[in-house]
Structure 1
Amino acid sequence: MTVKLLLLDEEDRLLLINGRDPRSGDTHWYPVGGGIEPGESLQEAAAREAHEETGLAALSPGVPVWTRDHTYRYDGRTVEVHEDWLVHTVPHFDPAPAAMSAYEARSVVGFRWWRADELCQTRETVYPPALGELLTALLRDGAPPEPIDLTHRAAD
């Protein structure tokens, strides 16, 4: 179980992490987030991950918007995850990781705030691949009444 965070600033820009696969050297962009620890709620995991990966000290509860079951290859391993996605509105800030794991520290290259149209137009690798379109719909329509399952929509 993992939590993925759509951290949106006051101009609806989304914070993404630029990562590099240590084995292949391929680079990609992905949202803040990570594993949910035993006994931790989704919201507690979100706050912890936001702090560890970006230095954000306070995170108000997020709104569940998507879920996804996903299998991917990274660092020579096959990883299967279930993701619960939350959207959070945060003041714009400059990310400064507070407690990245050694694994994260060797793969994180940097951060960038992206507009939905930039994500739709980029030729860079972004996960999930349809993130620009998904974010555009979320900003246009608002949060769904129940989280939308992206498993078959945004396969990569």
Structure 2
Amino acid sequence: MARLAVKLLLLDGDDRVLLIRAEDPETRAHCWYPVGGGVEVGETLQQAAAREAYEETGLVDLPPGCLVWQRDHTYQFDGRVIAVHEKWLLHAVECFDPTPAALSEYEARSIVGFRWWNVEDLTEATETIFPPRLGHLLENLLADGVPAEPLDIGI
């Protein structure tokens, strides 16, 4: 059964999104992905987003986010197969230097850096970025605004 996860599009005033660089402890492959993680029992999406932002980046007082995307996704990492149902929230934030505050042992073994990415760099990147097409998805979101209903980006 897929675990409910929240993914955060932390967007600064220059329309750059914060991504985490990770190294798979088993394969040593590198990838970039947005802040986020599992929603715990009893948490709202906003509560989970605030907790994940704090744990992974040290960000305190995350402003409320808007639900923009969703997807069902299964991936392999660290020798495990993980199925998630992701809800994506867009949060307007000030640019900051991420400093993880409470990483899990699993995250501490895999997170190796952070970067603020602009749309152009995302669309031209040759590195592995999750979700695929993030640059184009973000470009459309910035052009079209927050959708009335979350768009399914898993297609």
TM range (shorter): over 0.9
Q: Does 1:105 align with 2:147?
A: no
Whole-Å Cα distance in 1 between the matches of residues 27 and 110 of structure 2? Answer: 11
Query: Which position in structure 1 is the counterpart of 2:38?
Result: 35
Query: Which position in structure 2 is the counterpart of 1:9?
Result: 12
Amino acid at match of 1:90: V
Q: Does 1:118 align with 2:141?
A: no
Query: Which position in structure 2 is the counterpart of 1:60?
Result: 63
Consecutive unaligned residues in structure 2, runs of 5 or more: none
Q: Does 1:83 align with 2:86?
A: yes
Please give the secondary structure, in 2, of the residue aligned with 1:65. Answer: strand
Query: Which position in structure 1 is the counterpart of 2:22?
Result: 19
Whole-Å Cα distance in 2 between the matches of residues 150 and 14 of structure 1? Answer: 17
Q: What is the percentage of aligned positions where both structures have the same residue?
A: 61
Please give the secondary structure, in 2, of the residue aligned with 1:67. Answer: strand
Q: Deviating runs (4+, > 2 A) in structure 1?
A: none
CA RMSD in angstroms, aligned pairs only? 0.5
Deviation at 1:31, TM superposition (A): 0.1
- Determine which of 121, 124, 144 is the counterpart of 1:141: 144
Q: TM-score, normalised by structure 1?
A: 0.96
Amino acid at match of 1:33: G
Please give the secondary structure, in 2, of the residue aligned with 1:111. Answer: strand
Q: Deviations 1:60-94 (Å, cap 9, x if unpaired)?
A: 11000000000111111111000000000001100
Query: Which position in structure 2 is the counterpart of 1:50?
Result: 53
Please give the secondary structure, in 2, of the residue aligned with 1:106. Answer: helix
Whole-Å Cα distance in 1 between the matches of residues 132 and 31 of structure 2? Answer: 10
Q: How many residues get paired?
A: 152
Consecutive unaligned residues in structure 1, runs of 5 or more: none
Query: Which position in structure 2 is the counterpart of 1:130?
Result: 133
